[in-house]
Amino acid sequence: MQSPVSFYFDFSSPYSYIASEWIEALAARHGRTVRWQAILLGATFQATGLRPPVDFPLKREYALRDFARSARLEGIPYQQPVPFPIATQNAARIFWWLHAQDADRATAWAHAALRAYFTGGVRLDDAAALRKLAERAGIDANDAEAAWADPQWKLRLKQANEEALAAGVFGAPWFVVDGEPFWGNDRKPQVERWLAGDRF
Amino acid sequence: MQSPVSFYFDFSSPYSYIASEWIEALAARHGRTVRWQAILLGATFQATGLRPPVDFPLKREYALRDFARSARLEGIPYQQPVPFPIATQNAARIFWWLHAQDADRATAWAHAALRAYFTGGVRLDDAAALRKLAERAGIDANDAEAAWADPQWKLRLKQANEEALAAGVFGAPWFVVDGEPFWGNDRKPQVERWLAGDRF
In this predicted model, what pLDDT tens digit does every residue of A20-33 receive, in sequence order? 999 999 999 999 99
Q: Cβ–Cβ of A66/B186 closer than 8 Å? A: no
**Sheet containing A174-177: which strands, arranged edge to edge?**
A34-38, A5-9, A174-177, A180-183
Residue ranges of alpha helices (H) inside A6-102 are: 14-20, 23-29, 41-48, 57-74, 89-101
Taking a C-beta distance cutoff of 8 angstroms, is the pair A67, A117 a contact? no
- Residue A146 sits at the vertex; the CA angle it makes with A140 and A150, to the nearest 5 degrees, is 145
- The whole-angstrom distance between A168's CA and the closest CA on chain B is 6
Q: Cβ–Cβ of A168/B66 closer than 8 Å? A: no
Kindly state whether B170 is in contact with chain A, defined as any CB-CB distance less than 8 angstroms.
yes
- The whole-angstrom distance between A55's CA and the closest CA on chain B is 10
Residue ranges of alpha helices (H) inside B36-102 are: 41-48, 57-74, 89-101
Q: Cβ–Cβ of B61/A168 closer than 8 Å? A: yes
Q: How does residue A103 score in pLDDT terms, banded at 50, 70 and 90?
A: very high
* b/e per residue A157-186 (b: at least 16 CB within 10 A): beebbeebbeebbbbbbbbbbeeebbbbbb
Contacts with B52 from chain A: Cβ below 8 Å = none
Q: Cβ–Cβ of B50/A65 closer than 8 Å? A: no
- Set out the domains of chain B in order of their start, with CATH numbers: 5-195 (3.40.30.10)
SS3 content of chain B, % helix, strand, coil (to 5): 60, 10, 30
Tell me the pLDDT tens digit for each residue of B142-187: 999 999 999 999 999 999 999 999 999 999 999 999 999 999 999 9
The secondary structure of residue A2, as a DSSP letter, is P
Contacts with A183 from chain B: Cβ below 8 Å = 62, 66
Q: Which residue of A has its CA nearest to B54?
A: A50
Comparing CB atoms, the residue among A62, A170, A193 nearest residue B183 is A62
Burial class (CB in 10 A: 0-12, 13-18, 19+), B113: buried
Instruction: State the complex-level ipTM.
Output: 0.91
Residue A137's closest CA among A111, A118, A99?
A: A111
Contacts with B168 from chain A: Cβ below 8 Å = 58, 61-62
Kindly state whether B165 is in contact with chain A, defined as any CB-CB distance less than 8 angstroms.
yes
Instruction: Check pLDDT > 80 for residue B1.
Output: no
**Measured between alpha carbons, how far is A46 from A68 in angstroms, rounded to an integer?**
27
Q: Tell me whether strands A180-183 and A174-177 are parallel, antiparallel or unpaired.
A: antiparallel
State chain A's mean pLDDT as an integer.
95
- Quote the crossing angle between the two packed helices A127-136 and A141-149, to the nearest 10°: 130
Residue of B8, B62, B162 to mutate, interface with A, max A Cβ within 10 Å: B62
Q: Provide the 3-class DSSP secondary structure of residue A124.
A: coil
Q: How does residue A58 score in pLDDT terms, banded at 50, 70 and 90?
A: confident
Tell me the pLDDT tens digit for each residue of A76-102: 999 999 999 999 999 999 999 999 999
Residue B36's closest CA among B200, B191, B164?
A: B164
Tell me the pLDDT tens digit for each residue of B83-124: 999 999 999 999 999 999 999 999 999 999 999 999 999 999
- The whole-angstrom distance between A159's CA and the closest CA on chain B is 18
**Measured between alpha carbons, how far is B16 from A174 in angstroms, rounded to an integer?**
23
**Measured between alpha carbons, how far is B153 from A47 in angstroms, rounded to an integer?**
42
Q: Which of B3, B6, B12, B13 is catalytic?
A: B13
What is the pLDDT, as a whole number, of residue A1?
60
Q: Cβ–Cβ of B200/A168 closer than 8 Å? A: no
With residue A35 as reference, give the H or E element that holds it. Answer: strand A34-38
Q: Cβ–Cβ of A49/B65 closer than 8 Å? A: no
Report in angstroms the alpha-carbon separations of A103 from A50, A85, A106, B10, B182: 30, 26, 5, 45, 37
Q: Which residue of A has its CA nearest to B76?
A: A200
Specify the long-range contacts of residues A104-113, CB closer than 8 Å, at least 24 apart.
A106/A36, A106/A38, A107/A24, A107/A34, A107/A36, A108/A137, A109/A137, A109/A139, A110/A9, A110/A11, A110/A20, A110/A36, A110/A38, A111/A20, A112/A136, A112/A137, A113/A11, A113/A137
